[in-house]
Amino acid sequence: MMKKRVCLFGASQLGEIAFQQLNSKYEINYFIDNSKEKQGTFFCDHQIISPAEACKMNDICIIISSTYDIEIAKQLIKMGIKSFGVFTITHEKHHVSFFDYYHIDDFSINKNKICLLVQNYSGSNTFCLSKHIPKSISDTYEVSVLHKGKLTPSYYYDLITSYLMIATHDYRCAVDQINIQLWHGIPLKGISYMSNYPYQNAEANHIAWSKLDYIGSSSQTVSTLFNACFGVTGAKYKILGYPRNDFLFADTSKIKLKTILRQDIADQKVIFYMPTYRKNVYGESNGESSQLISQLETKELEAFNQFLSRHDFILCIKQHPEEAKLKKQYSHIYTLLEEDLEQAQVDLYELLGAADLLITDYSSVYFDYLLLDRPVVFFTPDLEKYSSDRGFLLNPMEYWLAGEIVSSLDSLQYAMINAIYKEDRFKQRRRELTKVFHHYQDNKAAERTWDFIDQLLQGGVSKERR
């Protein structure tokens, strides 16, 4: 059987991964790239050509292999190429989704259309907005909820024709749309201009964020942290609170967690362990993943499980998708996987409210969890290396982290017992920092965000000029 002839659009890190994954399945003839500097050179031993050259080719399929997928899809459609594939990575699995829009003639923007772009179910602001759409909004506007991990046939059509776009991760927005960035967490670690990682494209990030119309924030301090990283006009920031934090206040969290775990947790103290990522698919590496709880040797995990059992603790581990999974099951250790949340259509923050204690390290979840005024322990065995690799926005760490900071498994166990069964000596500091990072301390962020969107579309808020 002859392989399908393919050109990969995007001579980049994602393009290299796509080539490695697809080379055995397809006959890859060329790479395509918009960069004139790259055109005529070679990438993965294949020539890089311009989009205009690719347009002249017959019987060839273009597969987008770039994080600029929205921009490229729009470009291809304008060139008359309405059938294409898109390479994505979801839950550590590689996919190619194919789209055919030859039956559509009109790709003009619908001024009444809103698009919510959901990246994942691990504290998604847009997923929360999709669950709390007011009737006044649904009666007035067409709201499309698009899931990055599940590309429907109309995915790019809806993206291109929406007038207002709301996202939580980087994307390359269009100037003829209103673009709102809600991001996915208050940064503790360095990002873009403030990251030590040597391959950050900080200038490209700055340009992309400069094109945004509005950026969601939870306080003036948070706006300042983001602006240190991206350097945009201060007027873009709107302090509305983060919709995902509304989930934390729901009284259904324990019921939903019980359903997900298939386990009665009524007489147990629930502990969530949520470390930030150490490696990603693009090669960025920060800190040392081998020292995470989920990466411990079987003997250590068995002993830790016995400790949990003795103290009536249940540990729920939310691992980053890039980290290896537990090799076996334990009676008091449960793993929450992204695919399980997706299948249940439940966001992680709908479960996090059940936690009596949060164990984390440098993750933004700490700042959100402050709203519950419950203990936090910081397990940071690779603090020195992570600080060197990535860097932090806030120092000294002990001033900003309202909880015990520990670096060994033994000290972690003592800290867990102290946090749950003994005097809460960090309560006052937590409350002080909550005021710093959260102007609003309620469950009305989604409501405020929808009100802002409605005012914006009704002309009650001026569109930020780029």
Q: In this structure, are residues 362 and 392 in contact, taking their beta carbons and an 8 Å threshold? A: yes
Sign of the C-alpha dihedral, residues 66, 67, 73, 76? Answer: negative
Residue 7 in this model has a pLDDT that exceeds 60: yes
Q: Which CATH architecture has domain 251-437?
A: 3-Layer(aba) Sandwich (3.40)
The domain limits of the chain are: 5-100, 110-244+444-457, 251-437
What tens digit of pLDDT does each residue of 314-350 get? 999 997 655 656 667 899 999 998 888 999 999 999 9
User: Does this chain's domain 5-100 share its CATH topology with 251-437?
Assistant: yes
Q: What is the mean pLDDT of residues 379-385?
A: 92
**Exposed, middle or buried by CB within 10 Å (0-12, 13-18, 19+), for 182?**
buried
Q: What is the CA radius of gyration of the chain?
A: 23
Q: Describe the crossing of helices 409-421 and 298-310 by its angle, rounded to 10 degrees.
A: 20
pLDDT beyond 90 at 294: no
Backbone angles phi, psi at 395, to 5 degrees: -145, 150
Average pLDDT value for the chain: 92
Which fold would CATH assign to domain 5-100? Rossmann fold (3.40.50)
Region for residue 176 given its phi and psi (left: phi exceeds 0; alpha: psi -120 to 50; beta: otherwise) = alpha
- State residue 282's pLDDT score: 63
What tens digit of pLDDT does each residue of 395-439 get? 998 999 999 999 999 999 999 999 999 999 999 999 999 999 999
34 Cβ neighbours under 8 A, 6+ residues apart: 50, 51, 75
Cα 114 from Cα 143, distance rounded (Å): 5
Q: Which two tokens stand for residue 448?
A: 């405020």
- pLDDT confidence tier of residue 91, bands split at 50, 70 and 90: low
Residue 237 or residue 171, greater confidence: 237
pLDDT at 129: 98
Do the Cβ atoms of 284 and 199 come closer than 8 Å?
yes
With beta carbons less than 8 A apart as the criterion, state whether 347 and 126 touch.
Answer: no
- Can you tell me the distance from the alpha carbon of 332 to that of 293, in angstroms, rounded to the nearest whole number? 13
Q: How many Å apart are CA 183 and CA 228, to the nearest integer?
A: 15
* Residue 465 binned pLDDT confidence (cut-offs 50, 70, 90): very low
Q: Which amino acid is at 201?
A: N
Pairing of strands 376-379, 357-360: parallel
Query: Residue 466: what pLDDT?
Result: 44
The confidence band for 230, taking pLDDT boundaries of 50, 70 and 90, is very high
For the domain 110-244+444-457, what is the CATH code? 3.40.50.11820
Residue 154 phi, psi dihedral angles, 5° rounding: -95, 10
Q: Residue 20: what pLDDT?
A: 95
Res. 295: pLDDT tops 90: no
Answer whether residue 198 shows pLDDT above 90.
no
Give mean pLDDT, residues 151-179.
Answer: 92
Give mean pLDDT, residues 231-235.
94
User: How far apart are the C-alpha atoms of 127 and 312, rounded to whole Å?
Assistant: 33
Residue 455 burial (CB count, 10 A): 11
pLDDT score for 245? 98
Q: What is the DSSP letter of 235?
A: G
**9-13, 55-59, 116-120: which has the minimum mean pLDDT?**
55-59
Per-residue CA distances from 244 to 131, 171, 382, 384 (Å): 10, 20, 29, 31
pLDDT of residue 461: 66
CA distance 342 to 160: 25
Which tokens go with 388?
Answer: 């060197």
pLDDT confidence bin for 150, thresholds 50/70/90: confident
Contact 374, 158 (CB under 8 A): no
pLDDT at 325: 65
| φ/ψ (deg, to 5) at 404 | -65, 135
What pTM did the predictor assign?
0.93
Query: What is the DSSP secondary structure assignment for residue 316, as one 8-state letter?
Result: E
User: Quick one: residue 279, left, alpha or beta (phi over 0 = left, psi -120 to 50 = alpha)?
Assistant: beta
Tell me: the pLDDT tens digits for 22-70?
A: 999 999 999 999 999 999 999 999 999 999 999 999 889 999 999 889 9
